[in-house]
Every structure is written in structure tokens, then in C-alpha cells.
């Protein structure tokens, strides 16, 4: 592929300018590796130019080299994708409405002889009853279950404090799922302060066969499904899998107020969907087997789709892989363009990149839009001219917190039972997002900041004398002990150290 800079034909100038207005895209042909060493300037549609470690790849402009008849078809597809993404940003999708079920047709799963050893039959029978609403009550002990199969036209409400857990010794099959929905329509899983949990660590030892497919909640070709308020933890695969079924792609999937924690492969895997809305959720602590991302958009086959996917207010952190991965190696020229919007979300403290977009070499096309997200660096994207990454506003860069160690302090060693309390509670986070999450004090002047780890540590006389000795202070009646504080905010950014002092008197009395 050649650089856009080589396109200078006057006959294509009008088309070039038209695309510039519609797509507001730029290309940068550096490799991901070079981007880590040299900052690349990116212009976004807000008009802001930012230099960061970023490779912003792909635009429809590369199509100008491939023949007008072919490029016009592809440009139309690209424009449609971009316009649909803009539509996603402007308002909530129309299908995001509360499903209406007949609450008069309500049953409790406990009616089917709940068993503390194995509650599978009770829960499955309640679901298979055809009731419009199934209540899973808090029994004071977990619902230990084998795989459960979900049904259409039903709302399942997990009461506050309810825990549904994979039964020990179960799930021996490589693709056993805690909950599976195959071709289901009109389903709501609602569970604020309730938990679905598997046994990730057990699945890595005999008699279990190693597998990355023991998902907690598996959706296959479903339509009109909502997952609300649940904490989903410790699967042997993905927390939520959104993929293909006999009926084809999933359609109208809404995930809200959900926590996906400690999964083996991904917090969420998105394979084949039209209309996906994820909001106000947290995807964290994925570790075990690649890709180990918070969320992975990755179709398995070329006809599968990623159409109109919107993520809003999603916190993706502490994952062993990338925060957000978009990997499109199965896409080629006949595949539909993808359309994804990431808005007002956070990708922080993931072991690899906050965002990685790759696998574009086989002909992937489409558009990913970022708007007002908080990232430690810009997305990194592999090369392709048929694909665009756009910033409708510059990524929000974190402002480091400010440490305030208080003081100066004074203490007289002649006082009985002498202690002194330091106070770092006036430290603050200028972003006013999640505030300070950790305080780290250095009291012996060795720059390690491990002497105390909270906001108001209490220092006893014996500890104080150890710090005096470590500072090699002169033996006199009055000495000054330096004290330094650093603080950490919820974006995992440390402040600069700030220093105060403790004036100590009565040393020789």
C-alpha cells in the first residue's frame, strides 16, 4: 500500500476533499514498533492535534488507488459505517427499553426443592416452567449448579446477596458454560448486588482438560437480551461471550452496571453482533490465557459482524493483556465494515496497551470512534487504508494527583507514651474522578515510600527513633526529621513527592 501523500491527481481532488469532510480521517503509516519510539502527530475531528505514542491507521483514502468502481462501493460502505457510528453517539439506541413481562406470572426457583449440595434442578425447572418472571432468592448459601440453559420471554431476577456458583467437580466438558442462551429472544438477567461465579483455578488442574471456553454467560444468536447489575467472576473462559448461533448473529444486547472480574481469557468477547450497548460497567483482572483482555472484539469468520457497537462509561483496568482489543484477522473485502464507538470510558493499568487494533491486513474495513475517553496512551493500530480510527474529542489525559503531607509537625520526647499522627488526608486528585486510593510515606529518607501506606499513620516513639537513626541525624537536644509523601489516584498515576518535617525536642533530656 502506498502513502496518501502520493495521491496528487486533480481528477480525484474533489473526492478527496469530500471524504475529508465526511470522515475527518488522517493516516499515519508508521509501524506499531516505531510508534513506541517516536511520537506521531494525530489530528482528530475536534481540530485538536496531539503528539503521543500512537499509530493512527487507516482511512478510506487508500481506496483511491484501487479503481474508481471498486473504491466507490467501498467508500459508500465506509460512509455508512461512519454515519451509523455518529448516530450511535447522538442518542441511546432505540431498542434500549425495559422489557415488559407479566409480573403476575412469577415463580421462585426455591419452590422446586432447593438443595444446598446441587441446586441445578431447582433453577432449571423454574426457568423451564415458562413463567414470565423467575426469582432466584438469597438462600443464605450459594446456589451450586451445573450448566443452566436459558429460555425466551423471561426475566430472571437474582435477589440482593444471591450467589450462583459452579458446582465443585462439575463443568468437566471443555465448553461447559454456567449459563447458555442459544437462539433465545426477550431475556433479562437482573441481579444488583448478586454474583455469578465459577472456579477458574480448579479448571487448570486434573481432572479438567485445559480449555479457554468455560464461559460464565454464553450468548449465541440471541435477540433482545439484557444483563443488568450482575457481578460475574472467575470463569474458565470469558465472563460474557457474545457470538454466533444457528440463528446467526446476536441482536440487541444490552449490558449495564455489570462487573466482569478475574476471568481466564476475557472479561467480554464480542464475536458476532448487531446493536451492542455496554454501559456503566467494569472489566478487570483478566489473567490466564491469551489474549487476557478486558474486552475483545474478534469475529471468528468473515461473514460475522460487529455492527453498531457502543461502549459508554466502561472502566477497563488491571488486565494482563490489552484493555480493549479489536482484532480483525478474519475480515476481508467481502466482510461488512465494522462500526464501534468507545465513549467516556477508561482504559488504565492494563499490562499491554490500553487499546490495540490489529489484524487489518486481509481487507478489514470500517470505523472506530473514540470520544472523551481516559487512556494512559493513544490507541495503537496496525496498517490498513480501508479502516479508520477517529477522535471526536481528544482523549482525556489524566492529571496527576497532588500530595499534601500536612505539617510541619513537632514532638517532645519527654512526653509520656509519645506518639505522633501524620495527616495526608488533604492530598487531592484534580480530576475529581475517583480520588486518592493509596498514600505512601518515606520516613527514613531512602526514597522507597514503604514506611506507611495510609492517609493518617500513627508513629510511636520506638519507630521514630529508628527513623532518626536511619537519617544519621546529629545527637542534639532538637533535631528535624524529613518526611515525604506520594499519593496514587484511581488512574494509577503517582504524584510528585511532597516533603514536610517533624521537629523533635527532648532528645538529650
Residue 265: predicted pLDDT: 98
Same domain, residue pair 142 and 174: yes
Same domain, residue pair 296 and 346: yes
Q: In total, how many domains does the chain have?
A: 2
From first CA to last CA, the distance across the chain in angstroms is 82
In a domain, 41, yes or no: no
Same domain, residue pair 261 and 357: yes
Residue 341's CB: how many other CB atoms inside 10 A?
A: 23
In a domain, 458, yes or no: yes
Mean pLDDT per block of 10 residues along the chain (509 residues) reads 28 36 33 26 30 31 36 49 53 52 78 95 96 95 98 96 97 97 96 97 95 98 97 98 94 97 98 96 97 97 94 94 94 89 90 90 87 73 68 68 92 78 91 79 86 89 77 63 89 87 75
Same domain, residue pair 258 and 128: yes
Residue 28: predicted pLDDT: 31
Residue 340: predicted pLDDT: 93
Same domain, residue pair 377 and 428: no
Rounded (to 5) percent helix, strand, coil in the chain: 15, 35, 50
Same domain, residue pair 377 and 424: no
Residue 334: predicted pLDDT: 86
In a domain, 336, yes or no: yes
Same domain, residue pair 172 and 294: yes
In a domain, 42, yes or no: no
Where in the sequence is the domain holding 459, given as residue range(s)?
409-505
Residue 22: predicted pLDDT: 34
Number of H helices, E strands in the chain: 5, 35
> What CATH number should be reported for the domain holding residue 206?
2.160.20.10
Same domain, residue pair 157 and 266: yes
- Quote the distance between the C-alpha of residue 438 and its chain's center: 21
Using an 8 Å Cβ cutoff, are 268 and 237 in contact?
no
> What CATH number should be reported for the domain holding residue 417?
2.60.40.10
Residue 385: predicted pLDDT: 59
Residue 399: predicted pLDDT: 80
Residue 507: predicted pLDDT: 64
What is the phi-psi region of residue 8: left when phi exceeds 0, alpha when psi lies from -120 to 50, beta otherwise?
alpha
Residue 116's CB: how many other CB atoms inside 10 A?
A: 11
As a whole number of angstroms, the distance between CA 485 and CA 230 comes to: 38
In a domain, 56, yes or no: no
In a domain, 330, yes or no: yes
Same domain, residue pair 488 and 422: yes
In a domain, 237, yes or no: yes
H or E segment and range at residue 52? strand 49-52
pTM (2 d.p.): 0.69
Same domain, residue pair 309 and 455: no
Domain-ending residue, one of 325, 352, 385: 385
Residue 206: predicted pLDDT: 94
- Quote the distance between the C-alpha of residue 368 and its chain's center: 16
Same domain, residue pair 413 and 356: no
Same domain, residue pair 335 and 479: no
Residue 169's CB: how many other CB atoms inside 10 A?
A: 11
Residue 80: predicted pLDDT: 56
DSSP string for 373-413: -EESS--EE---SSEEEEESS--BPPPPPB------EEEET
Give me the phi and psi of 360, to 5 degrees please. -90, 0
In a domain, 451, yes or no: yes
Amino acid at each position: 500500500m502506498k502513502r496518501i501523500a502520493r495521491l496528487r491527481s486533480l481528477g480525484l481532488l474533489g473526492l478527496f476533499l469530500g471524504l475529508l469532510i465526511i470522515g475527518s480521517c488522517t493516516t499515519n503509516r508508521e509501524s506499531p514498533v516505531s510508534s513506541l519510539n517516536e511520537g506521531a502527530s494525530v489530528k482528530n475531528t475536534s481540530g485538536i492535534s496531539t503528539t503521543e505514542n500512537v499509530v493512527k491507521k487507516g482511512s478510506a483514502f487508500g481506496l483511491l488507488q484501487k479503481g474508481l468502481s471498486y473504491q466507490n462501493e467501498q467508500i459508500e460502505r465506509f460512509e455508512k459505517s461512519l454515519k451509523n457510528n455518529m448516530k450511535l453517539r447522538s442518542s441511546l439506541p432505540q431498542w434500549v427499553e425495559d422489557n415488559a413481562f407479566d409480573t403476575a406470572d412469577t415463580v421462585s426457583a426455591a419452590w422446586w426443592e432447593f438443595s444446598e449440595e446441587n441446586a441445578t434442578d431447582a433453577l432449571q425447572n423454574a426457568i423451564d416452567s415458562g413463567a414470565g418472571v423467575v426469582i432466584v432468592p438469597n438462600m443464605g448459601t450459594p446456589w451450586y449448579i451445573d450448566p443452566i440453559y436459558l429460555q425466551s420471554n423471561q426475566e430472571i431476577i437474582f435477589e440482593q446477596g444471591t450467589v450462583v456458583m459452579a458446582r465443585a467437580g462439575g463443568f468437566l466438558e471443555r465448553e461447559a458454560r454456567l449459563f447458555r442462551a442459544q437462539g433465545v429472544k426477550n431475556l433479562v438477567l437482573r441481579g444488583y448486588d448478586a454474583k455469578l461465579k465459577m472456579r477458574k483455578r480448579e479448571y487448570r488442574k486434573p481432572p479438567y482438560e485445559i480449555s479457554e471456553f468455560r464461559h460464565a454467560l454464553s450468548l449465541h444468536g440471541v435477540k433482545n437480551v439484557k444483563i443488568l447489575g450482575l457481578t460475574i467472576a472467575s470463569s474458565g473462559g470469558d465472563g460474557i461471550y457474545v457470538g454466533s448461533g444457528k440463528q446467526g448473529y446476536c441482536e440487541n444486547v444490552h449490558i449495564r452496571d455489570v462487573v466482569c472480574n478475574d476471568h481466564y481469557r476475557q472479561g467480554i468477547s464480542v464475536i458476532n453482533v448487531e446493536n451492542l450497548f455496554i454501559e456503566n460497567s467494569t472489566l478487570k483482572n483478566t489473567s490466564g490465557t491469551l489474549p487476557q483482555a478486558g474486552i475483545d472484539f474478534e469475529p471468528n469468520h468473515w461473514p460475522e459482524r460487529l455492527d453498531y457497537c457502543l461502549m459508554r462509561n466502561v472502566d477497563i483496568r488491571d488486565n494482563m493483556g490489552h484493555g480493549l482489543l479489536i482484532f480483525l484477522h478474519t475480515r476481508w473485502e467481502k466482510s461488512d465494515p465494522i462500526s464501534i464507538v468507545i465513549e467516556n470510558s477508561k482504559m488504565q493499568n492494563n499490562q499491554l496497551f490500553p487499546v490495540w487494533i490489529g489484524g487489518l491486513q486481509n481487507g478489514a474495513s470500517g470505523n472506530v470512534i473514540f470520544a472523551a475517553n481516559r487512556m494512559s496512551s493513544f490507541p495503537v493500530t496496525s496498517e490498513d487504508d480501508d479502516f479508520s480510527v477517529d477522535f471526536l474529542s481528544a482523549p482525556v489525559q489524566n492529571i496527576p494527583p497532588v500530595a499534601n503531607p500536612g505539617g510541619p509537625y513537632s514532638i517532645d520526647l519527654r512526653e509520656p507514651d509519645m506518639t505522633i499522627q501524620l495527616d495526608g488526608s488533604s492530598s487531592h486528585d484534580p480530576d475529581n474522578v475517583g480520588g486518592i486510593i493509596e498514600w505512601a510515606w518515606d520516613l527514613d529518607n531512602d526514597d522507597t515510600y514503604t514506611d506507611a501506606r495510609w492517609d493518617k499513620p500513627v508513629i510511636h516513639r520506638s519507630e521514630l527513633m529508628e527513623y532518626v537513626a536511619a537519617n544519621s541525624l546529629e545527637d542534639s537536644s532538637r533535631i528535624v526529621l524529613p518526611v515525604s509523601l506520594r499519593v496514587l489516584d484511581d488512574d494509577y498515576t503517582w504524584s510528585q513527592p511532597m516533603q514536610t518535617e517533624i521537629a523533635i525536642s527532648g532528645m538529650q533530656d
